[in-house]
Structure 1
Amino acid sequence: MLDLAARTWTPKTAAEVAEIVAGAGGAGRALEIVGGGTKRGIGGGPAADGVLSLASLSKVIDYAPEELVLTAQPGVTLAALEKLVAAQAQMLPFEPPHLAKLLGAKGRPTLGGALAANLSGPRRIRAGAARDHFLGLEAVTGRGELIKAGGKVVKNVTGYDLSKLMAGSWGTLAVLTEVTIKVLPAARTETTLLLFGLADARANAAMVAAMNAPVEVSGAAHLPQAAAARAPLKGQMAVTALRLEGFAASVAARADHLAAALKGFGRAERLDAGHSRQFWAQVREVEAFHKDPRPLWRISVPPAMGASVGEAVAGEALYDWGGGLVWLLTDAEPQGVRAAVKALGGHATVYRGDAPAFEPLEGPLAALTARVKAAFDPKGVLNPGRMGGA
């Protein structure tokens, strides 16, 4: 039975999760779903009566390195998983950002949180998003029903692909209790080509050209002069970075090819493997913007439109995903930011600031979203208000 006097529940099994959710629904209570708690500040915050913590669901259930598949509970920390797969010369291919310092959070980011938010790092342009590596799940719906979907192979989908539906739903549809993801062999080495002093539009063109070249770029980012001058890079001019990963001989040959292809953008310098890893960790965690108090937006647009965001909205930008992901510090009015981004074919989310985090949905998409929510959580038990109008 649900203890209505409690404010926080920490179940240890999926059955306990189902009991708590069902009890909350029956009592007309709402629950905030928390993993590591690092992203609780994104959005207005659920209008919940209590907290359902997944901290005790923190076991790795099965890891088969030879099959490139890992099954774990959602409370497993990203740091623990990264250490586990690195010991087998493997990696989490979607390179999930932790973002705890960026968001001023004290918790430890978890696998469940990364998947629920569909967070992907710089390698997304090569390996795909988090949802593309989310093979299967066990979860509890807002009805208190335990469901399973997908499996331990990539092509194992009949009907709806619930894994992809849950990725990016921010815990508003179901509580993840077990997830299966794909892992990949880690690159033997890497290098990063650096171009200096390019204006945003010129850098955007260089990144798009690099991504279209036959060299398999696995990271493409641009730090304008203001962002590059901040800690930890503390550079004197804008930096445009392009990462190549793989076997040493392949990386060297592809780097030569890419440098020749981009000679019109200036002379390219190279980072060795160690410094390259440090640089991309800084990009992934948006370290340049950690201490700035201004509202921070995470903006997704077609890569070719990246620099146009900086032109349309006054502020300070950092570009990832070849221009497809723009981190923007700005005091501009939220409606103006959203309108400018929409005109460029993208969408925007507030990661730090007082404005509603998620863009309100309209028309058929809003109606479809409402029907999906009603199917999974008709009583609004799970994370009410987390995604606002979305």
Structure 2
Amino acid sequence: MCSHRVLKSPNSYAIAWIAALPIDRAAAGAMLDEEHAAPIGFNRHPTDANVYMWGRVGDHNIVIASLTSGVYGTTSAATTASSLLASLPSIHIGLLVGIGGGVARPEKDHDIRLGDVVVSQPSRTTGGVCQYDLMKAEAGDMRDRSSFLGRPPTVLLNALASIQADHERKDSKVPCFLQDMLERNPKMGKRSKQNPGYLHQGFDNDRLFKASYGHTLGPDCRGCDTADEIQRDLRDTTDPEIHYGTIASGNTLVRDAILRDRIVSDIGEDCVCFEMEAAGLMNHFPCLVIRGICNYADAHKNDRWKRYASATAAAYAKEFLAYIPLVEVQETKRALEELHLVKQQIDGLQQTMVVAQATIDSMRSDLRDDHIRRRICPPAPSTDTSHARMLCHEGTGAWLLESPVCQS
């Protein structure tokens, strides 16, 4: 791989790849076809604390931006995106690539395994990401989404449709990219007690337990009862599978299976993953979210699969970039312009819903008042009260007929 090539202008970079963790950044860097030094004329915004890596993947010049080490969550991601666009207004589109907790439901044909890749895909009710810790409680223990998150730009959705169609006919290139990564970066394939490497961690170390079963004390699941383990069909390959659906995002790390399943029931059956950054980006930097699965968002999580999961996500991102035509990137509005339009659309949607709710509330109030009036003051066939009096037993209801409401 060629290193330290210098491009003449920051405007040569139109795609941003955001990585939350150092291991995500390492995996992203390992996927570059060519590494660059900072471009000539790059002036970092005074408030920009991001760490950048520059390079090329296929036809695209890419800038990789990572969050401040040790500071995670939706707010940190939003700050990273805002700082990125302040320093690089030339950016058109973005990818958020890293690790997450999978929502595995093999009994419902959602057979997500550790090391698999999940990708945010818009549905009828979401833009592909839902912020679960901004969902408000409603009557009957139901919950309502109180936030609106934007959709990825059209150029990304078109590429998503294309790669899905191709994967119906032929295998993903993710395994090839993983092998190439290890050949070019031998250290990433070395195992140690502290660092299990960017390698598949073995089927024996991928165990899914019933939601009601908590983790036995210890750094791994060797002490956990196999009687409470969910048995799944053995895969005949370690190649990761790709899943598409809604990604649940929030500032609270989900490590409880019962809570996980409760949130999934609120969001919907297409929920495939939990993570902690995407919700902070979608309305600040519309992008596609790609996550490698390193745990099941339960009490059994550990760090063993993190590096491999970050590598599978990065490998999918590299394959995905090949489906984005360079000319379509240049024709797409810059992220700052797209952000302004997204905010306008969200504001308009929120305003429409406020007006609609006010109209519904007013109609309900009118109907309720009319119903009450009809109950206490039935329509009379004449100007006297004889009809109403016939509906009452003798000696009852006189106070209603004499009330001011009936006189009005």
TM-score (norm 2): 0.29
Higher helix proportion: 2
Q: With a CA cutoff of 8 Å and minimum separation of 6, indicate the structure with the bigger relative contact order.
A: 2
TM-score (norm 1): 0.30
